[in-house]
A and B are shown apart, each in its own frame.
Chain A
């Protein structure tokens, strides 16, 4: 008869090692590394480009001295800190690596969705490459790699640096729950924006000079375009901290934007597009523009 000790030693020792390894991996993969970790890990040499010695770290106040008013976009996504490193080479443009630590993985995703132009590239959770600039997100980090002039060699170095940086970022990468509430039929994935600031909404879709939807740091919003057969639409979901604020915001939207809404909250706009609004407890469902009433209704019905 085997003793408990025998059982443990006869089959569990390798198992324990395996479990231990898995646990270590899980700890590593779920625990995001810090800006300081990344500063130490991200290579100082990429191809012909070498990092200058003076890395800089900016916080939510000093970031203005670095990128002026553009800092407001990052602050709108709970910006914490930014590590900035400059790589230089002889006879080539400088490359600037900026690692933005955001308040959460969801915020890193959100700020990434602010600029979705460009070619999709497999760097981090999702990445885009356009003239002079690579961006991607992973865990709570949004990473920007900018080249001061566009050359083929610089672009190759930027891609290599991006992959090296992404490989060294650990931690969970989760998208906001509200993204999963968008109806999937006809959803154009490359148009999804996640935000919680009304100026950011206005940047992507000008709605009003004022914050008529009460969008704040406590609200989550998702903006997306749809294409169903030959018809298109644009949809906005806003989730509030309480049902009361959702009700107030619905009233404000109807008053300022859709005062002529029918009983179903629908309006034919002056550009012959349909707009509509519905509410599900804390969630406002808004069709900003749809090519037909039927499409607007379909989109409203597809959000529960």
Chain B
């Protein structure tokens, strides 16, 4: 261990009086920012519609697609969804949509289909669009991609604390387990690889029925999901993940009736900000725009 380096410990949180949010991301003052960080705020759109889902496995396709369109439009400040999608991809782009197939809580196919449809509508050749997860490292569309769109549901995770947009790119490396060290802290390094860097135009964190707690090898029980009925959309994966993490933390505290930090602490979100300069994890540097249903939004 580097003796000169400040090691973050529980004492830092106790000193700042933020023990209650130890599992989240806004307990400590920002230190050691990456050189690439700017003072500009990252825009994050949180959109919810009570009709989108009334529980695990239930999804109202029309409501969800409308949420996606509205969120993208507001995120990019355009007049309509088509204009927004034209800013995400041009007709000659090759687009990889990085999905997530974890069978307990996969990316909804309805959202995947909607993204493909919008891309085709703005002129992208259907043959130049691919949706994939486990096969991205050998998928020719992803190999040739000029644009990436990242979409996955939010969930807790045994080793990284949270399954996040940042973590979703772990399948782009041949040996994902090499990034499991220290609670997957170095996931941000994957985003700096040449075949990934600067390609991601849109990040969508699916919060329709997030998983806020998990136990055992399968880490899933539907009793630990709830119909939040939301999407978090941003160009900044760190800001989107940090926003989702705050919601999960509040839900855990409410459900368990006590402070129940996300465990292990999702170090990779902070590290993506402070070490890898991929975005903003601190709410002070996030412009959060909330749309739609606001009851129990937890943020």
Contact = CB atoms under 8 A, between A and B. Distances in A.
B160 A69 contact: yes
A73 B263 contact: no
Interface string A95-134: 0101010000000000000010100000000000011110
A146 B216 contact: yes
A64 B177 contact: yes
Interface in B5-35: 7-11, 14-15, 17, 19, 22-23
Given A208-B10, A211-B1, A212-B1, A146 B176 contact: no
Interface stretch (B107-115, B178-186, B291-299): B178-186
B180 A202 contact: no
Interface residues of B, number: 37
Nearest to B157: A69
A167 interface: no
Interface string A256-277: 1100000000000111000000
A271 B14 contact: yes
Tell me what chain A mostly uses at the interface: helix, strand, loop, or mixed.
mixed
Nearest to B3: A255
Tell me what chain B mostly uses at the interface: helix, strand, loop, or mixed.
loop
Contacts, number: 109
Given A69-B158, A209-B265, A130 B1 contact: no
B135 to A, nearest CB: 13
Given A144-B217, A202-B264, A73 B10 contact: no
B219 interface: yes
Given A64-B176, A133-B221, A202-B265, A73 B158 contact: yes
Interface string B167-203: 0000000001100101111000000000000000000
A210 B182 contact: yes
Contact of B14 (A149, A211, A252, A269): A269
B215 interface: yes
Interface residues of A, number: 39
A164 to B, nearest CB: 20
A83 interface: no
A199 interface: yes
Given A70-B217, A203-B264, 12 more contacts: A73-B158, A96-B218, A133-B216, A144-B218, A150-B221, A202-B265, A207-B9, A209-B8, A256-B7, A269-B14, A270-B14, A270-B17
The 9 closest A-B pairs by CB, nearest first: A270-B14, A208-B9, A70-B158, A69-B159, A72-B159, A209-B8, A132-B221, A115-B215, A203-B263
